Amino acid sequence: MVTPYYQHAGMTIYHGDCRDILPSLQPVELVLTDPPYSISITGAKHIGPTGKGVRRLDFFACDADWAKMTATVVQAISAAALLVRSLYVWLGHRQIGAVVDALEMLGFSTRFLVWSKLVVCPAAPGAGWPSGAELCVYGYKPGRTWTPSPATNPVSNVIVADNYRHGQPGKLPHPTQKPLSLFNKLVTVSSNEGDTVLDPFMGSGTALRAAKDLGRKAIGIEIEEKYCEIAAKRLSQEVFDYAGDER
């Protein structure tokens, strides 16, 4: 067994490659994850109007080889899928078909969700069509947890949520930080209090923070130690207010 990087009050973080760690884990109730999207462009950036700063488009060095990252994501999600009956995978357009195929070969039914952003993010130079949405593949099997309440009943597979921007409260030093409000909804309808949520591509720890706030346990795996540190500090806060949210 790998020694946890952080462990406290039902929250566990492992530092390492999730493909090495996942086979040692016991089944959990929900996987909620946001791997690199196979969209990074080395050296690319968007320079905004005066006062708006610069938006880097080379999010992660490991993501610059799009085919290799897509294969990594499929391998990791296939391993994580063996532990659950329900999982959400946020992903890039190059990965959708491969992830759907992998999950359906493992016996999952699949659907897709859309995060509609309140603020559109810039596209790569020369690409056009700035990013106003992101996609998620939802995989499920019989026996999954599905407990929407009148307050959280999903009336659509399109979820509108704000996105973090530079200088907003709660913005962390991670280039693709997901909205806590978005993850709260998914954790609420697809798990119960006391259940365990797993994120094999933990990043800044939004899935774990959502699980903690909603009375769940959680396991996060992250290959970059600097993000393990950010997530651990985030989890150590008993009350943490995230009013906005970003990609």
Report yes or no on 140 lying in a domain. Answer: yes
Instruction: State residue 167's pLDDT score.
Output: 54
Q: How confident is the model over 181-196, as pLDDT tens digits?
A: 999 999 999 999 999 9
Q: How far apart are alpha carbons 55 and 103 in whole angstroms?
A: 33
**What's the number of domains the chain is made of?**
1
Residue 59, domain extent:
6-236
Q: Beta strands of 60-211 (E only): which ranges? A: 86-91, 109-121, 131-140, 158-161, 196-199
> Mind giving me the DSSP string for 4-43?
PSEEETTEEEEES-HHHHGGGPPP-SEEEE----S---TT
> Mind giving me the DSSP string for 68-84?
HHHHHHHHHHHHHHTT-
Could you tell me the CATH number of the domain that includes residue 56? Answer: 3.40.50.150
Report yes or no on 83 lying in a domain. Answer: yes
Instruction: State residue 196's pLDDT score.
Output: 98
Instruction: State residue 162's pLDDT score.
Output: 82
Report yes or no on 152 lying in a domain. Answer: yes
Instruction: Note whether 139 and 81 are within 8 A (CB).
Output: yes
Report yes or no on 244 lying in a domain. Answer: no
Report yes or no on 41 lying in a domain. Answer: yes
Instruction: State residue 247's pLDDT score.
Output: 31
Report yes or no on 80 lying in a domain. Answer: yes
> By CB neighbour count within 10 A (0-12 exposed, 13-18 middle, 19+ buried), where does 11 fall?
buried
Report yes or no on 96 lying in a domain. Answer: yes
Instruction: State residue 50's pLDDT score.
Output: 47
Instruction: State residue 47's pLDDT score.
Output: 45
The ranges of the chain with pLDDT < 70 are: 1, 41-61, 123-124, 152-153, 164-176, 238-247
Q: Is the pTM here over 0.75, yes or no?
A: yes
Report yes or no on 188 lying in a domain. Answer: yes
